[in-house]
Amino acid sequence: MLKRFLFFLFIWSFVFPENINKQNSDSLNVSYSQKIIHFSGHTILPIAISYAGYGSSWKPAAKIMIASNLVDIDHLLAKPIYNPDRCSVGSHPLHSPPMIGLYSAMLFNEKTEQLGIGLLTHMVVDCVDCINTKERLGILKYPKLYRDPVNTYSVGHIAFWYGMSQFSETEVQHMLLFSLGWELIELHLPFKFAQESYLNKFFDILFNSLGFYIGKQTL
């Protein structure tokens, strides 16, 4: 079941990237791609991290990480409660830099580690959404560095390296070397898919690693 699902995601990520990034017709004018990335980052990504990192105990870890999304309760203090053009990080009390520091400290305690990972994952996803929002509004500084950090191609990276871990004898060092080499090659390719920011390349390598480790867990 997992293999079929990841194969579908791999095909989807390359067949539909143009259509999915088109703006919808509602008044909020947020792209389907941005919505999918944001909500899947708060749901599917914690499950993937749990599966890759916690072995047979991944289900309890996933529940804790998904429950960490309750941190969004601080949105109720904002006026308006929902604003598609507002960056959550730095705007809400539980999304402030001091609280992010506290979530980081939770990683060093075994009892709070999983919750800390969930909260930090939530903050990273919100930061990606902030970047996408600023790009959509035309106010993103240094787009060469930060533009479009996560997109539909990112799903393809997870699925591809899941497959490589299943059907080849690739080791982790080979995966990292190939990933880094490909990102360097893309710097010189004229194709549109290769026109990425440096942050996007960083996330590509992270997603490669995530897909690879998920695959290793299922062997």
pLDDT of 22 strictly over 90: no
The residue-averaged pLDDT of 11-23 equals 48
The residue-averaged pLDDT of 41-49 equals 93
The residue-averaged pLDDT of 93-112 equals 96
pLDDT of 19 strictly over 90: no
CA atoms within 13 Å, Cβ hemisphere of 146: 16
> Residue 27: which pLDDT band, with cuts at 50, 70 and 90?
very low
What are the domain boundaries of the chain?
A: 1-21+151-219, 26-141
> Residue 219: which pLDDT band, with cuts at 50, 70 and 90?
low
The residue-averaged pLDDT of 4-30 equals 48
pLDDT of 10 strictly over 90: no
Q: What is the pLDDT of residue 60?
A: 95
Q: Can you tell me the distance from the alpha carbon of 72 to that of 88, in angstroms, rounded to the nearest whole number?
A: 9
Query: 91: which 2 tokens?
Result: 């705007």
- What percentage of residues in the chain have a pLDDT greater than 70? 85
> Does residue 80 have a cis bond before it (omega within 30 degrees)?
yes
Q: Can you tell me the distance from the alpha carbon of 66 to that of 22, in angstroms, rounded to the nearest whole number?
A: 29
> Residue 2: which pLDDT band, with cuts at 50, 70 and 90?
low
Which of residues 32 and 88 earns the better pLDDT score? 88
Phi, psi dihedral angles at 126 (to 5 degrees): -65, -35
Q: Which tens digit of pLDDT belongs to each residue from 124-147?
A: 999 999 999 998 888 999 999 999
- What percentage of residues in the chain have a pLDDT greater than 90? 56
What is this structure's pTM? Answer: 0.83
Among 19-23, 51-55, 200-204, which range has the highest average pLDDT? 200-204
pLDDT of 11 strictly over 60: no
> Residue 83: which pLDDT band, with cuts at 50, 70 and 90?
confident
> Residue 183: which pLDDT band, with cuts at 50, 70 and 90?
very high
The residue-averaged pLDDT of 91-117 equals 96
Buried-state track 116-153, b at ≥16 Cβ within 10 A, e below 16: bbbbbbbbbbbbbbbbbbbbbeeebeeeeebbbbbbbb
